[in-house]
């Protein structure tokens, strides 16, 4: 895109800045729309599983429910507790929201359709997702209230624990793909299974890794069954308890943007990203972005499905799963996969 | 042009947030300023083309170390008046440290005037065109393999030491959970379904 602005007679540096701003808007605005719609989908899926109707009043089939909620939230008064630490109280939702958007910079939607095609893309995502804990911790502390504080404690412990296993899981994928660049990882999955199936899921060593990644992603985004930070029976609404109006909405949007990010990572790392599921020429007539969105949507459906059917974990069970099950298992798979690759691909050095 | 603006922005923010880290009265604010400093230092790393180090800085320091700092500092209920009360007691020590630093500064300036030290020339070949990660991997797992592995061993020993120091034998009568036993428990063993007739109640 930079080239277009250079042709229009712009300085190279300015052209880069302008194209970066336009590119960011092109990602952020559709993303916000997608988040609004995905919240509607989420509520509809839970409703269907619970044999309810879900939102069906605002607009046809209730499609405009999220926008009505957004408008309502914007018109509400922002209440800041008098005992709160004002600056941090207000910065916390901004941090959550910004961090949730920033990670999308390296997500490739189609071949070459990516804002920043950097060669440390996956590390960037790890770094950004490790930042997202700060929004929760800051809001919990700044609220100066017990429930948010407990929630912040739980969140920081939980996210640190699961980041460790997510790190090892990503190492396995990187070992197979031979690159940290997300586009290169997707390209490496072309025809991975018998030369016809696109995606790393079709691999006896990587399928268990995918299952672990899916569960860790649930824990990392604090979705059910790992939503101990906002367990309503224990902590009212967790770290969001003291928030109102737009500051609450920013948490809400950031949370769903993070969930969508994890779904798209699932797609990119294990299910072939923008590539069609099978490596057949006919399927390539469908644009890559359609495949990408379809797969991401399917994983989002799985997230909602889990939310509607699985009961919440106890806190000690959560920690046990992270440290005593996932960590040793993912370490084992790092060793097994690197051993297998040395044996088959690179050859053992004499 | 853009590089220069970015450099001065990041550098100024690093220094400012570093200063705020030691100047802010609330320890939680201090930690948050420290995190901002780490983050901007990562920005500086990106500017000199060391994007791998930059990402590791964010993942390790911001994502793990600083979270633990924040975790601990948040839970401490620090009394600021008490903190300031110790100022006079520690003042002589502070003066000594300040004097040492001044001496070093004077010495450094003198050494700077005396001319530069003859440094050896770097002999390694520059791996042009390769990514950061590939270059670091080449060095760590090639030339510096032994040093890298021994650093790993030292860290492992430190970790085991920390665990041994904090490990205590569980002497409480509270038994441990047996997860396998809990999972193996079926509804039939734990519950009993009864259909009491009207006005009869349940026999326990």
Cα separation, A226 vs A315, whole angstroms: 8
At residue A161, φ and ψ (nearest 5 deg) are -60, -45
Write the pLDDT tens digit of every residue in B100-144. 999 998 988 887 777 666 666 665 555 556 677 888 888 888 888
Tell whether pTM > 0.90.
Answer: no
Is residue B64 within 8 angstroms of chain A, CB to CB? yes
> What's the length of chain B?
204
Q: Which of A130, A141, A316 sits opposite B28 (nearest CB)?
A: A141
Confidence (pLDDT) at B84: 64
Minimal CA–CA distance to A200: which of A106, A117, A266? A266
DSSP state of A252: H
Cα separation, A243 vs A239, whole angstroms: 8
Contact B67, A135 (CB under 8 A): no
CB contact under 8 A, B70 and A156: yes
Confidence (pLDDT) at A9: 67
Confidence (pLDDT) at A279: 78
Per CB-CB distance under 8 Å, the chain B contacts of A149 are 74
Cα separation, A27 vs A54, whole angstroms: 29
Q: Which residue has the higher pLDDT, A202 or B78?
A: A202
Confidence (pLDDT) at A250: 87
Per CB-CB distance under 8 Å, the chain A contacts of B177 are 316
Q: Which of B5, B74, B178 to mutate to test the interface with A (most CBs of A within 10 A)?
A: B74
Indicate whether B152 pLDDT > 90.
yes
DSSP state of A235: H
Please tell me which residue of chain A has the smallest CA distance to B70. Answer: A137
Is residue B13 within 8 angstroms of chain A, CB to CB? no
Cα separation, B144 vs B152, whole angstroms: 12
Please tell me which residue of chain A has the smallest CA distance to B57. Answer: A127
* Whether complex ipTM tops 0.85: no
Surface of A (130-189) touching B: CB under 8 A: 130-131, 133-134, 137-138, 141, 149, 152-153, 156-157, 159-160, 163, 180
Is residue A94 within 8 angstroms of chain B, CB to CB? no
B91 pLDDT band, cuts 50/70/90, is confident
Cα separation, B80 vs A102, whole angstroms: 37
Contact A6, A15 (CB under 8 A): yes
Burial (0-12, 13-18, 19+ Cβ within 10 Å), A250 = buried
Residue with tokens 């259909």: B195
CB contact under 8 A, B32 and A120: no
Is residue B47 within 8 angstroms of chain A, CB to CB? no
What is chain A's pLDDT, residue by residue, as a tens digit (350 residues)?
666 666 776 677 777 788 888 888 888 888 888 888 898 898 899 899 988 888 888 878 888 888 888 888 888 888 888 888 888 888 888 988 898 888 888 888 887 777 777 888 888 888 888 888 888 888 888 888 888 888 888 888 888 888 888 889 988 888 888 888 888 888 888 877 777 778 787 888 888 999 999 998 888 888 878 888 777 777 777 788 888 888 888 888 888 988 999 999 999 888 888 888 887 788 778 888 888 888 899 999 999 999 888 888 888 888 888 888 899 999 999 999 888 888 888 777 65
Number of Cβ within 10 Å of residue A127's Cβ equals: 23
Surface of B (96-115) touching A: CB under 8 A: none
For B144-184, give the secondary structure using H, E and C: CHHHHHHHHHHHHHHHHHHHHHHCCCCCCCCCCCCHHHHHH
């Amino acid at each position: 895109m930079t080239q277009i602005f250079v042709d229009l007679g712009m300085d190279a540096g300015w052209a880069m800045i302008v194209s970066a701003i336009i590119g960011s808007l092109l990602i952020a605005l559709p993303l916000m729309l997608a988040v609004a719609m995905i919240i509607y989908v989420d509520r509809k899926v839970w409703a269907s599983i619970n044999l309810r109707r879900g939102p069906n009043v605002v607009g046809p089939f209730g499609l405009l429910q999220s926008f009505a909620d957004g408008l309502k939230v914007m018109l509400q008064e922002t209440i800041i507790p008098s005992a709160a630490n004002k600056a941090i109280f207000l910065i916390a939702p901004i941090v959550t929201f910004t961090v949730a958007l920033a990670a999308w910079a390296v997500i490739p939607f189609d071949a070459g359709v990516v804002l920043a095609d950097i060669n440390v893309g996956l590390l960037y995502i790890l770094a950004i997702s490790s930042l997202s804990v700060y929004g929760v911790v800051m809001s919990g502390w700044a609220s100066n209230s017990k429930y948010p504080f407990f929630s912040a404690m739980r969140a920081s412990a939980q996210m640190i624990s699961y980041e460790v296993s997510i790190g090892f899981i990503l190492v396995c994928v990187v070992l197979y793909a031979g690159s940290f660049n997300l586009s290169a990882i997707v390209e490496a999955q072309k025809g991975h299974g018998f030369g016809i199936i696109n995606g790393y899921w079709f691999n006896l060593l990587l399928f268990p890794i995918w299952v672990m990644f899916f569960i860790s992603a649930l824990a990392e985004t604090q979705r059910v069954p790992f939503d101990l930070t906002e367990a309503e029976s224990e902590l009212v609404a967790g770290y969001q308890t003291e928030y109102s109006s737009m500051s609450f909405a920013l948490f809400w949007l950031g949370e769903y943007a993070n969930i969508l990010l994890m779904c798209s990572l699932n797609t990119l790392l294990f299910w072939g990203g923008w590539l069609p599921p099978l490596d057949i020429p006919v399927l390539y007539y469908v644009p890559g972005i359609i495949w990408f969105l379809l797969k991401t949507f399917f994983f989002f459906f799985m997230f909602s499905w889990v939310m509607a059917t699985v009961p919440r974990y106890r806190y000690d069970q959560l920690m046990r799963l992270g440290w005593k099950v996932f960590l040793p298992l993912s370490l084992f798979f790092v060793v097994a996969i690197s051993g297998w690759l040395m044996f088959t691909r690179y050859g053992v050095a004499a | 042009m853009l590089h220069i603006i970015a450099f001065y922005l990041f550098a100024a923010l690093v220094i400012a947030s570093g200063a705020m880290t030691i100047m802010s009265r609330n320890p939680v604010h201090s930690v948050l300023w420290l995190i901002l400093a780490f983050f901007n230092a990562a920005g500086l790393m990106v500017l000199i083309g060391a994007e791998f180090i930059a990402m590791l800085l964010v993942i390790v320091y911001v994502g793990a170390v600083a979270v633990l700092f924040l975790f601990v500092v948040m839970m401490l209920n620090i009394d600021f008046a008490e903190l300031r009360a110790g100022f006079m007691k520690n003042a002589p020590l502070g003066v000594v440290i300040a004097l040492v630093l001044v001496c070093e500064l004077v010495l450094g300036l003198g050494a700077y005037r005396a001319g530069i030290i003859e440094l050896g020339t770097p002999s390694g070949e520059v791996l042009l065109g390769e990514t950061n990660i590939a270059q670091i991997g080449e060095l760590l797992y090639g030339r510096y393999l032994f040093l890298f592995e021994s650093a790993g061993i030292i860290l492992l020993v430190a970790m085991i030491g920390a665990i041994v120091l904090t490990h205590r034998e569980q002497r409480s009568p509270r038994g441990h959970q047996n997860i396998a036993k809990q999972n193996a428990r079926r509804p039939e063993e734990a519950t009993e379904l009864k259909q009491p007739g009207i006005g009869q109640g349940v026999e326990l």
